C-alpha cells in the first residue's frame, strides 16, 4: 500500500521538474534564456563595444575641451587669437605683434616684426607684410649662406601678403640692430639665395626693397 501511495508522489515530482525554467547553452557570442529571451549576437556585441569606446572618447574630448577653454581664459586672449597663433606655430606674443622671436635651429635670434606702412610701387600705403616662421630647411640653408659670408644669421622669416606689387619697401623692426651694422638680406629663390636691396640700417630697424615675397634671411657680416 505504501508503494502505491509513494508512486504518484514521485510522478508528480518528475512533472514538476519538467515544467521548471531551463537555461540552455547558446552559441558562442549569444546568451539565451527560455521564457523571456536575452540574446546578444557577435555583431551586437561588437556594436555595443564600439559604442562604449566612442562614449569614452567623447568624454575625453569633453574634458580636454574644457581644459583648453580654461587655458585660453587664463591666457587672457580670444579664441581667435589663440587658434591663430596655434595655426602659425607662434607664441601669443609673436602672433599679436606680427613678429618672429624664436626659430628652431637658431640659438640667438634677433626678432623681426613688420608694423605696416609698406611703400607699394612708390606709393605710401597701409599694407602690412605678414611675418611667418620658416620651414626648418631654410634655417639650415641660411646658416650655410652666413658661413660662406663669414657672418651670423640674425633671423629667417617667411614674408607673405595678399597684395600684388612690383616693388615694395618695408621697414622691419629688429631690436638690437645698430646704425651702420652690415646687415645683408637674402631671399630664397629657385633653390638659391638672392641678395635683396637694403635701403637703410638704423637702430632697431632694417629697411628692405622687395620685388616679391618669400623667405628672407637677415645676416650680419662682420
pLDDT digits (tens, 9 = 90+) for 104-134: 999 999 999 999 999 999 999 999 999 999 9
Statement: the pTM of the whole predicted model exceeds 0.75: no
Look up residue 198 and give its DSSP letter: E
CA distance 216 to 194: 9
CA distance 175 to 115: 13
| Residue range 80-102, pLDDT digits in tens | 887 888 889 998 889 989 999 99
Cell of 105: 635651429
pLDDT at 117: 96
Residues of the chain with pLDDT > 70: what percent? Answer: 76
Cell 628692405 locates to 208
pLDDT at 204: 97
CA distance 134 to 163: 20
CA distance 202 to 149: 21
Where is average pLDDT lowest: 30-34, 123-127, 138-142, 162-166? 30-34
Helix (H, G, I), strand (E, B) or coil at 40: coil
CB 115, CB 173: distance < 8 Å: yes
pLDDT at 164: 95
pLDDT at 51: 83
Cell of 138: 631654410
H helix or E strand, kind and range, residue 210: strand 205-210
CB 33, CB 23: distance < 8 Å: yes
Q: Is the pLDDT of residue 25 over 80?
A: no
- Torsion, Cα of 166, 131, 216, 202 (10° steps): 90
Amino acid at each position: 500500500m505504501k508503494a502505491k501511495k509513494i508512486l504518484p508522489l514521485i510522478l508528480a515530482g518528475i512533472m514538476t521538474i519538467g515544467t521548471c525554467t531551463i537555461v540552455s547553452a547558446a552559441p558562442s557570442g549569444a546568451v539565451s534564456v527560455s521564457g523571456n529571451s536575452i540574446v546578444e549576437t557577435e555583431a551586437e556585441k561588437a556594436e555595443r563595444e564600439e559604442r562604449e569606446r566612442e562614449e569614452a572618447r567623447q568624454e575625453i574630448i569633453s574634458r580636454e575641451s574644457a581644459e583648453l577653454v580654461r587655458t585660453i581664459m587664463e591666457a587672457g586672449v580670444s579664441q581667435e587669437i589663440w587658434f591663430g597663433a596655434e595655426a602659425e606655430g607662434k607664441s601669443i606674443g609673436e602672433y599679436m605683434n606680427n613678429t618672429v622671436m624664436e626659430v628652431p635651429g637658431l640659438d640667438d635670434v634677433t626678432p623681426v616684426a613688420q608694423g605696416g606702412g609698406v611703400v607699394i610701387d612708390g606709393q605710401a600705403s597701409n599694407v602690412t607684410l605678414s611675418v611667418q616662421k620658416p620651414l626648418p630647411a631654410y634655417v639650415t640653408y641660411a646658416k650655410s649662406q652666413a658661413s660662406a659670408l663669414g657672418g651670423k644669421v640674425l633671423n629667417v622669416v617667411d614674408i607673405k601678403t595678399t597684395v600684388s606689387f612690383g616693388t615694395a619697401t618695408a621697414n622691419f623692426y629688429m631690436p638690437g640692430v645698430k646704425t651702420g651694422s652690415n646687415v645683408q638680406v637674402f631671399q630664397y629663390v629657385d633653390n638659391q639665395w638672392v641678395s635683396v636691396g637694403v635701403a637703410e640700417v638704423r637702430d632697431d630697424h632694417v629697411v628692405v626693397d622687395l620685388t616679391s615675397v618669400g623667405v628672407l634671411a637677415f645676416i650680419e657680416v662682420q
